[in-house]
Amino acid sequence: QSALTQPVSVSGSPGQSITISCTGTSSDVGGYNYVSWYQQHPGKAPKLMIYDVTNRPSGVSNRFSGSKSGNTASLTISGLQAEDEADYYCSSYTSSSTTYVFGTGTKVTVL
Amino acid sequence: EVQLLESGGGLVQPGGSLRLSCAVSGFTFTNYAMNWVRQAPGKGLEWVSAISTSGSNTYYADSVRGRFTISRDNSKNTLYLQMNSLRAEDTAVYYCAKKEYHRTTLWGQGTLVTVSS
């Protein structure tokens, strides 16, 4: 099972909005509404930011939002802040034998 | 306090074995499926394995199937990962994680496994 495809890096200035894409296939992203997004700061464990494509866990800022179109899911961060600088990974349920697959990861830089 | 505490990592030679443990506290362990996820140094996340609440159903990534075995002891609130026939490419931080439906809601801090001669 191949990893989902994400851009290597995305950057933006404070206050701007950025969008990270996550492209898979009809066997994973396109076939199920089970896409999650995780934030990881250096040396730290990942943190769940979005689940089931659009849902935000309690405690996660509403500046984070998720969407999906076809085989591509997206994470949008609005009102970019310095603390949003981190690595972001998408993940999806997959009908292949591996069950779950992560994206390649995107480094977000706040300029 | 909700906590997942991994242990058992270390340096092992290629072809060797290691057993990782994850002690869980702060939530009802028996109610949740669990995952192992790993991250090679400087690389991205890779889902490794999952286990159902009772332990009767287990799932593996193609890269570890046949070499790794996930298990749990619900009486001890502990998750395990038995790793055999280890390879250099298995070198990674291994995270224990709480699974809720199709998402991972809580992660441990990880334990480093280094496979090298």
**Does the beta carbon of B57 lie under 8 angstroms from any beta carbon of chain A?**
no
pLDDT at A2: 86
d(CA A94, CA A100): 5
Interface of A with B (CB under 8 A): 1, 3, 32, 34, 36, 38, 40, 45-48, 51-52, 57, 89, 91, 93, 97-105
Percent of chain B residues past pLDDT 70, beyond the cut: 100
> B93-110 burial, b for 16+ CB within 10 Å, e for fewer?
bbbbbbbeebbbbbbbeb
Write out pLDDT tens, residues A91-100: 999 988 668 9
Mean predicted lDDT score pLDDT of chain A: 96
Write out pLDDT tens, residues A76-86: 999 999 999 99
Residue B67 has pLDDT above 80, yes or no: yes
Residue B77 has pLDDT above 80, yes or no: yes
Write out pLDDT tens, residues B19-65: 999 999 999 999 999 999 999 999 999 999 999 999 999 999 999 99
d(CA A37, CA A52): 9
Could you tell me if A40 and A46 are in contact, meaning their C-beta atoms sit under 8 angstroms apart?
A: yes
A72 Cβ contact list (under 8 Å, min separation 6):
A21, A22, A23, A24, A29
CA end-to-end distance (rounded Å), chain B: 39
Mean predicted lDDT score pLDDT of chain B: 96
pLDDT at A98: 62
pLDDT at A96: 80
pLDDT at B105: 94
Q: Do B45 and A105 touch (CB under 8 A)?
A: yes
Q: What angle do CA B113, B73, B15 make, to 5 degrees?
A: 30
User: What's the rounded mean pLDDT across residues B83-102?
Assistant: 97
Residue A41 has pLDDT above 80, yes or no: yes
Q: Do A98 and B62 touch (CB under 8 A)?
A: yes
Residue A66 has pLDDT above 70, yes or no: yes
Query: Which candidate from B44, B62, B105 shows the least CB-CB separation from A48?
Result: B105
pLDDT at B64: 96
Could you tell me if B23 and B77 are in contact, meaning their C-beta atoms sit under 8 angstroms apart?
A: yes
d(CA B97, CA A45): 10
